[in-house]
Amino acid sequence: MLLKYFYDQSLAHASYMVGCQRANVAVIVDPGRDIEQYLEMAEREGLKVTAVAETHIHADYVSGARELADRVGAKLYVSDEGPAEWKYQYVDQYDHQLLHEGDSFMIGNIKFDVMHTPGHTPESISFVLTDQGGGADEPMGIFTGDFVFVGSIGRPDLLEEAAGLANTAEPGARDLYHSAERFKKLPDYLQVWPAHGAGSACGKGLGAIPSSTVGYEKLFNPALQFTDEEEFVKYILADQPEAPKYFAVMKRVNKEGPELLKDRGLPESQPLDQLASALDSGTVIDLTASKQFGEAHVPRSINIPVPMLAGWAGWVVDYSTPTLLIASPDQLPEAMRVLRKIGLDDVRGYFDVAKVREAGLATESYESATPSALRSQIESGDALLIDVRSQDEWNHGHIPAAEHRFLGRLPDNLDSLPRDQPIITQCQTGGRSAIAASIVQATGREVINMTGGYGAWERAELPTSTGEATEACEVGAGQCA
């Protein structure tokens, strides 16, 4: 048996290739949309990808299941558990098998047994793997999807928080408790292969280790220490990270079937005389570094540097309108890989950033200043300070005069910001606040970005609220992006 691990750092997404070397076939478990990585690995190992196994209808990225079925004829093994509104709607177009509790299927000489493990979502299943080709009659490991992570467990509130399905969080939490009780009865030696790592918004407190064992998780996973259902429900529904708005879009896309990418290339360069109409009709994202954008940019464009696209484009971009980019040609492959993974497919083209600047269209800038330089404006009330970090970061400590405006919700709450005083944007180190500054300035307000953020404020020994600061990354996936 061959097991290959694929990890997309930008989305904290793990997927797997399981190959039977005797039969020269492989299955991809929970694939991402960029399927070339799997096909290249299979060719390198002398295997043919013949199947896809998916643990549930994912909410945080566009699945590659349909792409693999269409491109190479891979058979789809997907869940048929859960209510009618969470059934796959596209699989009848392809060779497939709908799976239920107790079912099994073979990939070469490798057996996959299906466990229905609802809670994160109603249809969630896990795959227990036994390498019969190696002579084993007991399982080796379990692909848990978004059910059990290293050090955590999948959140049950996404359908309510992101997809808007009322009164699903608590029933999901109770289902999750009973699924966890089943998990605890599995053999301690069983390896655990989850679909996410640290930084994912699909749970709280995920570990950064790629895999674990059932026994280790039973000992040290906080979510698996509960023996009382009510206490578990309280724990699992509390303090979950904010659910990105685009999760609702992903659930629908993956249920109905993503658009195929086989005939889609990179967006084409657009003439500069189309820039004004692009700003009027949709969102124009400038991919340049925040410092460069702050010094000169096109009015009404917003700034999301390429390393931060995965974390924030799905929050702040309107999926219902066209998107265009201001970028250099070499940024396009990675930018489009990320945007397509979060289902932002309607990218109509790009404007070459060098030509934009040469034409003198980057006519706007905003001020950046240190906490010490901004202190008097903040404390006097001459400027409004908005802290765009997460709720958890805010709770751990913040600048007393600040108002909390989480970056992901900022575009929906701009009307609450004044127009008669400068707005100072602040995060932990200055990355997220730069995105916020571009969003605020695009509305015609005066804005200042606090360089160094809350961390620099603390280092300058300026007054803070009660609580201790929590470190936060400025790039990457999920909550800390």
- Determine the pLDDT at residue 239: 87
If you average pLDDT over residues 345-367, what whole number do you get?
97
Per-residue confidence at 473, pLDDT binned at 50, 70, 90?
Answer: very low
Is it the case that residue 357 has pLDDT exceeding 90? yes
Query: Long-range contacts for 334-340 (Cβ within 8 Å, ≥24 apart)?
Result: 334/306, 335/287, 335/306, 335/309, 336/266, 336/267, 337/34, 338/10, 338/306, 338/309, 338/310, 338/313, 339/309, 339/313, 340/33, 340/34, 340/62, 340/261
Question: What SS3 class is residue 163?
Answer: coil
Phi, psi (rounded to 5 degrees) for 406: -50, 130
Percent pLDDT > 90 in the chain is 83
pLDDT at 24 over 90: yes
Kindly write down the DSSP assignment for every residue of 64-79, as one continuous string: SHHHHHHHH-PEEEEE
Closest CA to 60 of 158, 204, 179: 158
pLDDT for res 472? 41
Architecture in CATH of 272-358: 3-Layer(aba) Sandwich (3.40)
Of 472, 446, 441, the closest CA to residue 458 belongs to 472
Q: How confident is the model at residue 244 (pLDDT cuts 50, 70, 90)?
A: confident
Do residues 119 and 179 touch, judged by C-beta distance below 8 A?
Answer: yes
Confidence class of residue 463 from pLDDT cuts 50, 70 and 90? confident
The mean-pLDDT minimum among 13-17, 34-38, 149-153, 239-243 falls in 239-243
Place of tokens 């609802």: 118
- 10 Å CB burial of residue 280 (0-12, 13-18, 19+) is exposed
Domains 272-358 and 367-480 share a fold: yes
Distance, CA of 436 to CA of 430 (rounded, Å): 10
User: How does residue 476 score in pLDDT terms, banded at 50, 70 and 90?
Assistant: very low
How sure is the predictor about 367, in pLDDT bands with cuts at 50, 70 and 90? very high
Given pLDDT bands bounded at 50, 70 and 90, which one contains residue 306? very high
H or E segment and range at residue 230: helix 229-237
Question: pLDDT at residue 468 above 90?
Answer: no
User: Beta 323-327 vs 347-352: how paired, if at all?
Assistant: parallel
* More confident: 325 or 203: 325
The model's pTM: 0.90
Mean pLDDT of 120-141: 95
**Residue 466 banded pLDDT, cuts 50, 70, 90:** low
Q: Which CATH architecture has domain 2-256?
A: 4-Layer Sandwich (3.60)
| Percent of the residues in the chain that have a pLDDT greater than 70, as a whole number | 96
CA distances from 29 to 77, 373, 450 (A): 10, 52, 43
Per-domain residue ranges of the chain: 2-256, 272-358, 367-480
Q: Are 147 and 124 in contact (CB under 8 A)?
A: yes
Report pLDDT for 293. 98
Task: Name the pLDDT band for 319 (thresholds 50, 70, 90).
Answer: very high
Average pLDDT over residues 408-433: 96
In whole angstroms, give the CA distance from residue 226 to residue 184.
11
Which letter does DSSP use for residue 37 in this model?
A: H
Burial class (CB in 10 A: 0-12, 13-18, 19+), 292: middle
pLDDT category of residue 23 using cuts at 50, 70 and 90: very high
Give the strand order in the sheet containing 191-194: 104-107, 110-116, 125-131, 141-145, 191-194, 212-213
For residue 388, give every residue at least 6 positions away whose Cβ sits within 8 Å of its Cβ, in sequence order, or none.
405, 406, 407, 410, 425, 426, 427, 432, 433, 435, 436
Say how many CA atoms lie within 13 Å of 117 toward its Cβ: 27
The whole-number pLDDT of residue 351 equals 98
Q: What residues contact residue 165 under an 8 Å CB cut-off, 6+ apart?
A: 159
**Can you give the pLDDT at residue 377?**
95
CATH number of 367-480: 3.40.250.10, 1.20.140.10, 3.20.20.80, 3.30.70.1150?
Answer: 3.40.250.10
Nearest in space to 341 (alpha carbons), one of 4, 12, 5, 3: 12
pLDDT for residue 162: 62
Residues in the chain: 481
> How far apart are the C-alpha atoms of 178 and 176, rounded to whole Å?
5
User: Which of the two residues, 242 and 33, has the higher pLDDT score?
Assistant: 33
Query: What's the pLDDT at 136?
Result: 92
Which helix (H) or strand (E) segment holds residue 53: the answer is strand 48-53
Torsion sign (Cα): 284, 285, 287, 290: positive
pLDDT single digits (tens) 248-275? 888 899 999 999 997 788 999 999 999 9
Q: Residue 475: what pLDDT?
A: 39
Which residue did the predictor score with more confidence, 190 or 461?
Answer: 190
CA-wise closest residue to 282 among 310, 306, 258, 301: 301
Closest among 313, 331, 327, 340 to 32, alpha carbons compared: 340
Predicted local confidence at residue 327, as pLDDT: 98
Contacts 24+ apart (CB under 8 A), 95-104: 95/69, 96/69, 99/125, 101/125
> pLDDT tens for residues 161-198?
666 667 789 999 999 999 999 999 999 999 999 999 98
